[in-house]
Structure 1
């Protein structure tokens, strides 16, 4: 096997220009990857070109685009980082050459079935993060040289940037779709209550684990929840969905909000290890005159009573979920809800601004919170932060007790007394 001849400066410039062609930026990501693989095959005079992208959830690489070896993509071939030819490129983050392919040097049978004799692979790294591996192969023996490595690395760098952008877009779209599917599409119509909510994704950090929920329970009780799973993107949204569902399940069988959060804490420690979550769970009585409230590290709700300045509800805040060793000591506080009063539940994105302590934002919220129709309150409270990009997602829930519309009935009152 003779080594490839060194390239002339003119040929090197031609190849670099073909890869860095600005017109490629007009293509969609999938089209761009296909075009880059076609150009790599032509410029390097190889028979196959394959891109495998890292699946961050499994630490495996998945065949995503291919020319001359399309079967890898059709079969969604996967290989662990550190395994086989492509896995060794990823693990070492450096080029790997196999001049003579044998069954002992690769673990992907498709490479053998195709009859490949020589392989060159390079890592795809963006911002210090491994995105995937690009490898090419020939059906005749070949000794790849330094020029080949440099050109293929140039292709990998461009493909890596496109693939990273694609993954970020898909991750954000999936997280947003998941989060919106889990948030109530419409809050329930409940006697004696006026409800409204908003969710705004953060502009800088993307989708996260913020959520709110309102649900009716047996006996006329109403559960209201707001919470925030640490982190951002699809992983946090997935964890949020599981936590939300678990809380609803516990709320059906446990009457005390503190005990519901205790059970949820055990669940998070066991199934969602490493996830820090804050949550506020309120259980509103059938007569709407009181709520039973427990906070797991979450910001205190604002109580806006007609004719009075809004104030934070005075309860003890217990530690967040997923922190320390359960069971933590958690407490439930009974808080009166005067007729016409509104409770404002929110996540930190509503009150945090760059360059100021969070207490300033909470004071600003208190000044703006005046009891009124819940929809109008949501609009007004979001407007006070207009013109400022939120540091995080915003979840906002307003629960207002309607004046003069108390739930009646001795039977409902008796059930309420037995429920707690």
Structure 2
């Protein structure tokens, strides 16, 4: 059966409001950990996760950094306007380029109170910063599909947009955490290894990891590496259609160096664990990008992206992971690329064959979400047993909650 026919009603469960974690635990690695291996469920904490991973294996994290994407403006009338910066305008080739813009930038945004803001109208806010005052202005340009093109400009013009957001913005907590962001969220809704700015949501499976845990992994020769996928607000978008054919999967930027692709080639057939659904989507997308360079060797760089249904419609059964990644690496060298920056719209559902990781670390996800579909693709119908166990044994759910280590 083609995944387009999957009914989203088959991927639901009852999630009581009180099971959604509103705050993180005081210590990152004290969160509960459900381990699912060969049909058996056991429990522990993240502090001991190294004991369940094989030595001489590879652990992959997403090192994206959450930006302070929520900006609040006030009209002269007193009406409040919230600007939620989703992603750069299509004119920019990638998020990093847009983040490093100085003086002005155009961003695609969601607007709270959009009916009160007319096209061309300028909003302004002043933010004291040290011995200076930052003046930030926002101009409504146009509506494009479900978001708005907003031009943001500021003084001093020497500041980058990333710096402006850090000073003037607020961390955008997920919509199901029904409280205002607090000062502690700036640290706790960020992994300790966050590096590349561009996400509007954290890769939350990584929130549980600490330096002490990394040291124990190193002693066991569990090697760490990093991919970058910038998480968009679409990660929280529920599937509203009856079946998956009617759902438009959100696209997200990935940024991968050639060294990481070579490492995946070296570890092909060995034990790889991915931390988070975003890391899984990234490495599986690399496989499909490699497949495209094999099936269409002269593919234009602008066309080297992953679309929603590629994994189910491209003929790739005969192409191994090593072959696909080697071809992708050769393509990059031909283009003289040190990094691969593109978008992926890969949808992983039951019916998808996982090719690279043998284990997945992830939090517990919302009912009827594409993230839950991904978990079901990884462990099969046993996802119901896993979630039933978690609900019955007081696990905390969603971004600030507990998590699981799943072996396929």
Q: TM-score, normalised by structure 1?
A: 0.26
Greater gyration radius = 1
